[in-house]
Structure 1
Amino acid sequence: MTAAHSSDEARRAEWAEVLEEMEGEVLDAERSIRGNRAEEIAAWGRRMEDWTPPTMLGPLPLDLRERAARLLQHQLAVAEELVERITQSQRQRDVAARMAYRPRPVAAFVDRAL
């Protein structure tokens, strides 16, 4: 085995590990959505960090590009669903708040016999 070959294999293994970690995060977010766990969904929405690839890994190996592309599509779909659920939840809270603080009509009885 040449040094270049073992270096390529090490880079591939590191990239595979990074992709696996990212796939796990997407699946966790998806489970939060499917479980209808509002607090977890909101927590995912508060994550403002954009992922940046580790600089020490070098370019993504060719044989992992299709996997990375599928992962990206999955991430985008889950992110879109998270935004939709967060927006829906916010609307529901707004409606509930308006209903809770709206003055309720007081019953008035008029005696027509007078």
Structure 2
Amino acid sequence: MARPETPQPENWRSAWVAALDALDADVVLVEELLADAQRVRDLPLSDPWSPPAGLGPLPLDLRPRADAILARQLHATRQLTLAIAANRKQAAFAARVEAGGYGKAPPSYVDRAM
């Protein structure tokens, strides 16, 4: 089995910078989607990221940036989870109110003038 070729040192760093740029762009998209609920319905999320073939190990000087992107991804994931849960609770509450299933019969109007 052929082993993927490790890029040359100058290409290795630039390949990692490009890969981190792609991850950073994905996180920015999720952060923007969280900030604007209308866009959540209109724009699909991008495909999951996987490192390009033959990228090699992450250069040590790029580790802080990669860690920061990961922290932002985890935060965005938590925020999405909370937003989805809140949306489901609100939808369930609205369905109970609209259907009159909140424990009491829905109010009715009786015209006594007749």
Q: Give the TM-score taking structure 1 as reference length.
A: 0.74
- Please state which structure has a larger fraction of its residues in helix: 1
Identity between Structure 1 and Structure 2 (%): 30
**Any idea what SS the aligned residue of 1:104 has?**
coil
Equivalent residue number for residue 67 of structure 1: 65
The 8 Å contact of residues 23 and 49 in structure 2, kept in 1 or not, is answered as no
Equivalent residue number for residue 76 of structure 1: 74
1:105 aligns with 2:103: no
The 8 Å contact of residues 32 and 40 in structure 1, kept in 2 or not, is answered as no
The 8 Å contact of residues 30 and 78 in structure 1, kept in 2 or not, is answered as yes
Count, aligned residues: 101
- The Cα RMSD (Å) is 2.5
Go from structure 1 to structure 2 and tell me whether the alpha carbon gap of 1:50 and 1:35 turns closer, same or farther (over 3 Å shift).
closer
1:106 deviates by: 2.8
1:52 deviates by: 3.8
Structure 1 runs (4+) greater than 2 angstroms displaced = 49-55, 105-110
The 8 Å contact of residues 12 and 56 in structure 2, kept in 1 or not, is answered as yes
1:61 deviates by: 0.9
> Which runs of 5 or more residues in structure 1 are unaligned?
1-5
Determine the C-alpha separation between the residues in 2 that align with 1:64 and 1:75: 17
Q: Give the TM-score taking structure 2 as reference length.
A: 0.74
